[in-house]
Amino acid sequence: MTPIPNRLIGADRLPHLLRQMPKAELHIHIEGSLEPELMFALAQRNGLNLTYADVSTLRQAYVFNDLQDFLNIYHAGTKVLRTEQDFYDMTWAYLRRAASDHVLHAEIFVDTQTHTGHGVTTDVVINGLHRACLDAQAQLGLSASLILCFLRNLSETEAFEALEQASPHLSKLVGIGLASSELGHPPEKFARVFAKARGLGLRLVAHAGEEGPPAYIWSALDALKVERIDHGVQAVQDPALMARLSRERIPLTVCPLSNLKLRVFQDLNHHNLGQLLDAGIVATINSDDPAYFGGYINENFTQTFAALGLTASHAYQLAFNSFEASFLEARAKQAMQDKLLEFFETSE
Positions in the binding site for Zn ion (CB under 5 A):
288
Residue 179 touches ligand ADE, criterion: CB under 6 A: yes
180 binds ligand ADE (CB under 6 A): yes
Nearer to ligand ADE (CB atom), residue 122 or residue 317: 122
Query: What is the C-alpha to C-alpha distance for residues 187 and 208, in angstroms, rounded to an integer?
Result: 8
Binds 67: which of ligand ADE, Zn ion, none (CB < 5-8 Å by kind):
ligand ADE
Active site residue 210: yes
Output DSSP code: residue 151.
E
DSSP structure class, residue 140:
I
State yes or no: residue 32 binds ligand ADE (CB under 6 A): yes
The residues in 90-119 that bind ligand ADE, with binding defined as CB under 6 A, are none
Identify what 210 binds: Zn ion, ligand ADE, none; CB under 5 to 8 Å per kind. ligand ADE
- Report how many residues bind ligand ADE under the rule CB under 6 A: 11
Select from 165, 258, 287, 317 the one that contacts ligand ADE (CB under 6 A): 258
Tell me which of 82, 207, 228, 314 binds ligand ADE, using CB under 6 A: 207
Q: Pick the binder of ligand ADE from 93, 210, 272, 312 (CB under 6 A).
A: 210
Q: How far, CA to CA in Å, does 34 sit from each of 61, 106, 250, 258, 269? A: 15, 16, 30, 15, 28
User: Would you say 22 or 36 has its CB closer to ligand ADE?
Assistant: 36
Q: Single out the residue of 278, 204, 190 nearest to residue 236, CA to CA.
A: 278
- Number of C-alpha atoms within 13 angstroms, CB side, residue 27? 30
Nearer to ligand ADE by Cβ, of 31 and 102: the residue is: 31
Residues 300-319 binding ligand ADE (CB under 6 A) are: none
Cβ within 8 Å of residue 228, ≥6 positions away: 26, 205, 250, 251, 252, 253, 325
Q: How far apart are CA 299 and CA 281, in angstroms?
A: 22
The DSSP element (H or E) to which 201 belongs, if any, is none
Q: How far is CA 55 from the centre of its chain?
A: 24
**Collapsing DSSP states into helix, strand and coil, what is residue 255?**
coil
- Please pick, from the candidates 288, 307, 317, 325, the single residue that binds ligand ADE as defined by CB under 6 A: 288
- Is the separation of the CB atoms in 216 and 207 below 8 Å? no
| Least distance to ligand ADE, CB of residue 210, Å | 5
Nearest distance in Å: CB 31, Zn ion: 10
- From CA 169, how far away is CA 130, in angstroms rounded? 10
CA neighbours closer than 13 Å in the CB half-sphere of residue 240: 4
Q: Site for ligand ADE (CB under 6 A): which residue of 28, 30, 67, 257?
A: 67
CB of 258 to ligand ADE, least distance (A): 5
Q: Which of 210, 248, 329, 342 is catalytic?
A: 210
Query: Is there a contact between 174 and 147 (Cβ–Cβ < 8 Å)?
Result: yes
- Catalog residues that contact ligand ADE under the rule CB under 6 A: 29, 32, 67, 74, 179-180, 207, 210, 258, 288-289
Residues identified as active-site: 210
